[in-house]
Amino acid sequence: MASTDGAEVLVASNRGPVSYQVREDGSLTARRGGGGLVSGLSAIGPETGALWVCSALSDGDREAVRRGVGEPGVRMLDIPADVHADAYNGVANSVLWFVHHLLYQTPLEPVFDAEFRRQWASYEAYNRAFAEALAEEAAEGAAVVVQDYHLTLVPGMLRALRPDLRIGHFSHTPWAPPEYFRILPDDIARQLLAGMLGADRLGFLTQRWARAFRACCEEFAGGLGTTRVGVHGLGADADFLRRRAHEDDVADRMASLREEIGAGRRTVVRVDRTELSKNIVRGLLAYGRLLDDHPEWRERVVHVAFAYPSRQDLAVYRDYTAEVQRVAAEINERYGTPGWTPVVLHVKDDFARSLAAYRLADVALVNPIRDGMNLVAKEVPVVSDEGCALVLSREAGAYEELGEDAIGVNPYDVVDTARALHEALTMPAGERSERAKRLAAAATALPPAQWFLEQLQALRAEPS
Ligand code: G6P
């Protein structure tokens, strides 16, 4: 089945490097995809000869596939929209994402009913479509690196179709501990692990997630078998970020942000997808608490919070977005004065403006309940002009690498987060810039291109 001129290196992920939109005049415009996975993999350009297999996610993407429009080195799969919606919204984002991020809580608990079984069949079909496309595109003995929880079954399916391939899988999320993983129906828990264990090698972002995966295998699959496990802590792309952050559009955004902030004020910055695991509401509450506990900060600090739309097909994400907006408005109403808006909230995705905020940041607030890595925590210290202080959740994967120079917080503890914000705001300038230098060094230790290469070498080196 291998095509003789097939690709030697293949990457598979749900979201690809670009997405398309149909303009009113019928033409297509391309935009960069978002999220940690795409930021990491975008460094692997077409010049590496790798083929990136991804899903068509929007009507524009489907139209691009139909018209044969595309980027070199990218193959978009036009999986039927209803199958994709079941797999992506129903299984991947409502169940697997929640399990790995420990997000279930009353009344938001899973019900594994007939509807879920139908969605699960779509998840299998969607994974099969990827496995078949990869089997078709891969050269004899090629290396395939499958990405993330959307495609957990692909390694096993691909192994059955193409035993000659070197198959890797990389998780950009945490992995659930066994006590939580067992929320899943038995047969599905086993199928997920069997799918993963079809790979020669599995990659995780931290030791902690790798340990949890091993523990799940011990408990539900009789161990790892011959599959190897490695840890590759994806770092920030310093060269790209520093160059991009000094382009003109970023300078324009800095000027307008400065106006919104007001002269002489300190800036606490956060940039996230509006994602439950990012814990934006508790972050806002902590900022409100700071203004209560330390009224001396009133008029002297502004919280610049960017909460970009994510997974809006899911009601729980739409509700969360509304909650973020409500809490930000409440803080502004309660503490604001004619010349001072305590929270500047922006919800429209704008990468140049994110970089502008990074450059202006005195303090970065990154407080997820649980996060595979969190690249924002790694990007801000690299880009900030004056060297920012970092308030960082101990539950973010990035904490394993940045914990020494960040101010660690328990993300559930609003009072302690307020205390950490005060500590960050009052950190002496010299200490702050020394710490920021060390943070930036740790954050860029494994830049994306190297991160990918490291996995590829390990995958090729080991016996299959
Ligand atoms: C996380 C996941 C990625 C995902 C990203 C954005 O980083 O690990 O796989 O692409 O979130 O989420 P989305 O659902 O918009 O692709």
Ligand 1 mean position to 41 CA, how many Å? Answer: 12
Burial class of residue 91 in the structure, from the number of CB atoms within 10 Å of its CB (0-12 exposed, 13-18 middle, 19+ buried): buried
Given the cut 0.95, state whether the ipTM is greater than it.
yes
Please tell me the distance between residue 260's alpha carbon and the centre of ligand 1 in angstroms.
Answer: 30
Q: Could you give the CA distance from residue 390 to residue 243 in angstroms, rounded to a whole number?
A: 22
Amino acid 46: pLDDT: 66
pLDDT at position 125, please? 98
Q: How far apart are CA 410 and CA 408, in angstroms?
A: 7
CA angle 71/76/82 to nearest 5° reads: 150
CA of 460 to the centre of ligand 1 (A): 27
Is residue 312 within 8 Å of 319, Cβ to Cβ?
no
Instruction: Supply the residue whose CA is at minimum distance from atom 14 of ligand 1.
Output: 311
Q: What are the Cα distances from residue 328, in Å, to 276, 305, 310, 331, 341? A: 16, 9, 18, 5, 10
To test the ligand 1 pocket, which listed residue (11, 31, 130, 148) has its Cβ within 8 A of the most ligand atoms? Answer: 148
Rg of the Cα trace of the chain?
A: 22
Helix (H) or strand (E) holding 110: none
What does the pLDDT read at residue 38? 81
Residue 173, ligand 1, Cβ within 6 A: yes
From first to last of the 464 residues of the chain, give the pLDDT tens digit.
Answer: 555 589 999 999 999 988 999 999 999 999 877 666 787 787 776 667 899 999 999 999 999 999 999 988 999 999 999 999 999 999 999 999 999 999 998 778 899 999 999 999 999 999 999 999 999 999 999 999 999 999 999 999 999 999 999 999 999 999 999 999 999 999 999 999 999 999 999 999 999 999 999 999 999 999 999 999 999 999 999 999 999 999 999 999 999 999 999 999 999 999 999 999 999 999 999 999 999 999 999 999 999 999 999 999 999 999 999 999 999 999 999 999 999 999 999 999 999 999 999 999 999 999 999 999 999 999 999 999 999 999 999 999 999 999 999 999 999 999 999 999 999 999 999 999 999 999 999 999 999 999 999 999 999 996 65
Q: Which domains does the chain possess? A: 7-234+448-461 (3.40.50.2000), 238-443 (3.40.50.2000)
Is residue 148 within 6 Å of ligand 1 at its C-beta? yes
Residue 10 to residue 97: CA distance in whole angstroms: 24
| Ligand 1 neighbourhood includes 15 CB (under 6 angstroms) | yes
User: Which DSSP symbol is given to 26?
Assistant: S
- The three-state secondary structure class of 142 is strand
pLDDT of amino acid 215: 98
Q: What's the pTM?
A: 0.96
Ligand 1: centre distance to CA 446 (Å)? 20
Q: Which of 377, 425, 427, 424 is nearest to 399 (CA)?
A: 377
The whole-angstrom separation of Cα 317 and Cα 89 is: 11
Edge-to-edge strand ranges of the sheet holding 301-308: 343-346, 301-308, 266-273, 363-366, 389-393, 407-409
Side chain identity at residue 279, one-letter code: N
| Cα–ligand 1 centroid distance for 35 (angstroms) | 5
DSSP assignment, residue 297? G
Structure tokens at 93: 């984002």
pLDDT of res. 442: 98
